[in-house]
């Protein structure tokens, strides 16, 4: 009997080589920790700040991201990344991460409900959400998550949708970006520093001083010891968002590939494989005239035992 299950899998897309080369210089400049969650919570920056999955935090496959991501239960799970000196910031910092919030965090305080931690290095830098809003804090001068160094970003955070969040700090100025676009600027933040003992660990999805646990998924968490420029933030968003290949099936049992996240003017080639080993070009290469496109050919399910799709740079 023929199987069609593999027809509908979404494969990780091979990004354009030119885009990778262009992005490489700023991707690694000042990078002190990077967690792509490709099967574990290891630090891919080369600095050895490997994370440990705690209380049910796990690595799972996510169709929308087309790769493995970290999942947190919103009750007590988090990732502990240690307290290496390289994680302590003194002049500037960038926090970058993809989040998909499933629901409220675990904590409630006066005026704040559903508080959940995204990134936390207690007393130095922290990123949280509460009341469906994002909050950052640097050099928090009083115990508590929103003290002298904290600020609400008024944009409402969506749920069950992947969102790229970047927060940069330098010279008292904090800039917040959603999906590569600036959404908030705060001038007058207190000086960054460490007001708690250095042994406080970096945590992803949880906090050391309070029970503020993240509820949902995270991916591609990056920490820099410098403030990325607005242009670098936009490039990082486009680089990590990447093109996506989606496979839809109609009532007449045909598959119709479609693409999203394309770069205008870039060339792409659809390829197919029956075994994930040998790939063949399907049709001619095409140039993206829009960020989303539908492939002009259908694939009858009954004609294949199994068929895999990917999008590559020709």
Shared domain for 80 and 217, answered yes or no, is: yes
CATH number at residue 133: 2.60.120.200
Mean pLDDT, range 122-141, rounded to an integer: 83
Q: Does one domain contain both 163 and 94?
A: yes
Report how far apart, in Å, the C-alpha atoms of 285 and of each of 102, 271, 292, 313 are.
Answer: 38, 10, 16, 9
Domain that holds residue 132: 30-225
Same-domain pairing of 80 and 145: yes
Q: What is the pLDDT of residue 58?
A: 97
The answer to whether residues 208 and 256 belong to one domain is no
Share of the chain above pLDDT 90, in %: 42
pTM for this one? 0.73
Please check whether residues 306 and 206 belong to one and the same domain.
Answer: no
Q: Which residue has the higher pLDDT, 140 or 109?
A: 109
Q: Of 199, 225, 251, at which residue does a domain stop?
A: 225
How do 267-273 and 163-170 pair as beta strands?
A: unpaired
* Mean pLDDT (the chain, rounded): 81
Query: What confidence score (pLDDT) does residue 66 get?
Result: 74
The tally of domains found in the chain comes to 2
Tell me whether residue 115 is in a domain. Answer: yes
Q: How big is the CA angle at 195 (ends 168 and 80), to the nearest 5 degrees?
A: 70
pLDDT at position 141 is: 45
* Tokens coding 193: 């520093």
Residue 157 lies in a domain: yes
Is residue 23 domain-resident? no
Cβ neighbourhood burial of 259 (10 Å; 0-12, 13-18, 19+): buried
**pLDDT tens track for 271-286:** 887 776 788 898 888 8
Q: Residue 226: is its pLDDT beyond 50?
A: yes
Residue 279 belongs to domain with CATH number: 2.60.40
Q: Which stretches of 157-250 are DSSP H helices?
A: 230-241
How far apart CA 278 and CA 106 sit, in angstroms, is 47
The last residue of a domain, from among 192, 225, 258? 225
Regarding whether 111 and 214 lie in a shared domain, the answer is yes
Q: 235 lies in a domain?
A: no
Q: What tokens appear for 151 in the block?
A: 């600020």
Q: Is residue 144 part of a domain?
A: yes
The reply to whether 20 falls in a domain is no
Q: Are residues 206 and 248 in the same domain?
A: no
Give the list of residues 6+ apart from residue 21 with CB closer than 8 angstroms, or none.
none
Q: Does a structural domain hold residue 166? A: yes
Q: Is residue 22 part of a domain?
A: no
Q: Is 132 in the same domain as 57?
A: yes
């Amino acid at each position: 009997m023929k199987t069609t299950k593999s027809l509908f899998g979404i494969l990780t897309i091979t990004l354009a080589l030119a885009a990778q080369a262009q992005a490489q210089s700023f991707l690694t400049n000042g990078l002190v920790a990077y967690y792509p969650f490709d099967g574990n919570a290891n630090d891919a920056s080369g600095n050895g700040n490997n994370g440990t999955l705690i209380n049910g935090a796990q690595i799972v496959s996510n169709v929308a991201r087309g790769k493995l991501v970290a999942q947190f239960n919103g009750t007590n799970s988090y990732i502990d990344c240690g307290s290496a000196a390289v994680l302590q910031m003194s002049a500037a910092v960038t926090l970058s991460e993809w989040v998909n919030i499933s629901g409220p965090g675990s904590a409630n305080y006066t005026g704040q409900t559903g508080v959940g931690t995204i990134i936390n290095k207690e007393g130095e830098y922290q990123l949280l959400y509460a009341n469906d809003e994002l909050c950052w804090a640097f050099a928090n001068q009083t115990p508590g998550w929103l003290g002298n160094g904290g600020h609400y970003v008024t944009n409402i955070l969506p749920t069950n949708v992947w969102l790229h969040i970047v927060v940069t700090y330098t010279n008292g100025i904090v800039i917040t970006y959603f999906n590569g676009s600036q959404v908030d600027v705060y001038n007058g933040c207190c000086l960054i520093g460490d007001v708690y003992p250095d042994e406080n660990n970096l945590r992803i999805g949880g906090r050391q001083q309070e029970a503020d646990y993240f509820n949902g998924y995270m991916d591609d968490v990056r920490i820099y010891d410098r403030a990325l420029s607005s242009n670098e933030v936009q490039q990082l968003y486009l680089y990590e968002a990447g093109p996506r290949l989606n496979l839809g099936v109609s009532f007449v049992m045909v598959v119709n590939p479609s693409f999203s996240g394309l770069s205008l003017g870039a060339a792409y080639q659809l390829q197919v494989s029956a075994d994930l080993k040998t790939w063949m070009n399907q049709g001619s290469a095409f140039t993206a005239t829009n960020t989303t496109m539908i492939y002009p050919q259908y694939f009858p399910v009954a004609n294949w035992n199994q068929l895999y799709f990917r999008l590559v740079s020709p």
